[in-house]
């Protein structure tokens, strides 16, 4: 549940870089995603047509502040997005490093505090830093979106131990792995660790067959969550026979 909204799918899908609007539509449908993200920078001469595509998908739109490098820029972009899309939901990105696209934690918290006070329901793109997470929750966020790896790299969960620590530290906070996922197996891994959802874009949009890849990610996210809920076998240091020794025949 995110800000009181129950969702069936735990996959969130980005809408950039697809080869055509038609492929985008098909990929959203194949993925089963109920939340799709869109940057205000996608709005241009064909903005109205693009919004029609998003509306036709039936998915909930989560605008984002992609490309913003300061709190002021992010807040202004969020206000424009709310007016354009008619939603208080906003994925907050404030980039602090040009190469890694790592969030600026100071500007991120500043922007989150301002937006939450203005009635926004903020989904902050952050790292697995626990202290930053605490400050974001204190600012009014009810969701945290730690990165798996830098945006678009496809490296998957680069710091699994740090992400496990975050999951354990915030047991009752919805956590969404955002960025860096490159394969369905990586999405399944995130769900097996107990994360509430996965948000990705490039791995689907730039695939040889985006529609098939979207379908694969939808299945992987569902399988990973079902495995988590079922109870995964913990790793063992020693071998443990699955067939009991007791009752074996004794041969003379």
Contact 42, 15 (CB under 8 A): yes
Place of tokens 């098939």: 212
Which residues does 201 contact at the CB level (< 8 Å), separation at least 6? 13, 14, 15, 16, 17, 37, 152
152 is in an annotated binding site: yes
Contact 176, 198 (CB under 8 A): yes
179 is in an annotated binding site: yes
180 is in an annotated binding site: yes
Say which of 82, 91, 113, 167 is annotated catalytic. 91
- Count of beta carbons in the 10 Å neighbourhood of residue 14: 26
Nearest Cα to 39, choosing from 20, 11, 14? 14
Which residues does 103 contact at the CB level (< 8 Å), separation at least 6? 93, 94, 95, 96, 124, 125, 126, 127, 147
CA distance linking residue 175 with residue 18, whole number of Å: 26
* 171 labelled catalytic: no
Q: Where are the alpha helices (DSSP H) in the chain?
A: 21-31, 47-57, 71-85, 105-117, 130-139, 160-169, 184-192, 202-205, 210-230
Annotated catalytic residues are 91
Q: Per the annotation, where are the binding residues for 1-deoxy-D-xylulose 5-phosphate?
A: 152, 179-180, 201-202
Q: Per the annotation, where are the binding residues?
A: 152, 179-180, 201-202
């Amino acid at each position: 549940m995110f800000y009181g909204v129950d969702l069936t799918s735990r996959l969130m899908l980005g809408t950039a870089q697809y080869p055509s609007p038609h492929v985008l539509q098909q990929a959203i449908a194949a993925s089963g995603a109920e939340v799709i993200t869109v940057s205000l920078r996608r709005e241009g001469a064909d903005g109205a047509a693009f919004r029609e595509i998003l509306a036709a998908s039936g998915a909930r739109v989560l605008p984002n502040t992609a490309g913003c490098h300061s709190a002021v820029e992010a807040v202004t972009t969020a206000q424009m997005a709310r007016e354009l899309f008619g939603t208080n939901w906003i994925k907050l990105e404030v980039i602090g490093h040009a190469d890694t696209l790592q969030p600026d934690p100071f500007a991120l918290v500043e922007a989150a505090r301002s937006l939450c006070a203005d009635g926004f329901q903020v989904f902050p793109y952050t790292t697995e830093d626990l202290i930053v997470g605490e400050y974001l929750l204190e600012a009014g966020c009810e969701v945290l979106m730690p990165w798996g790896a830098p945006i678009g790299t496809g490296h998957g969960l680069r710091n699994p131990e740090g992400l496990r620590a975050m999951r354990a530290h915030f047991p009752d906070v919805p956590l969404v792995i955002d960025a860096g996922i490159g394969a369905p197996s990586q999405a399944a891994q995130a769900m097996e660790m107990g994360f509430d959802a996965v948000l990705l874009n490039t791995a689907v949009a730039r695939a040889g067959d985006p529609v098939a890849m979207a379908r694969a990610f939808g299945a992987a996210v569902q399988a990973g969550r079902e495995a988590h809920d079922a109870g995964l076998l913990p790793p063992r240091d020693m071998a443990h026979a699955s067939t009991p020794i007791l009752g074996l025949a004794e041969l003379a």
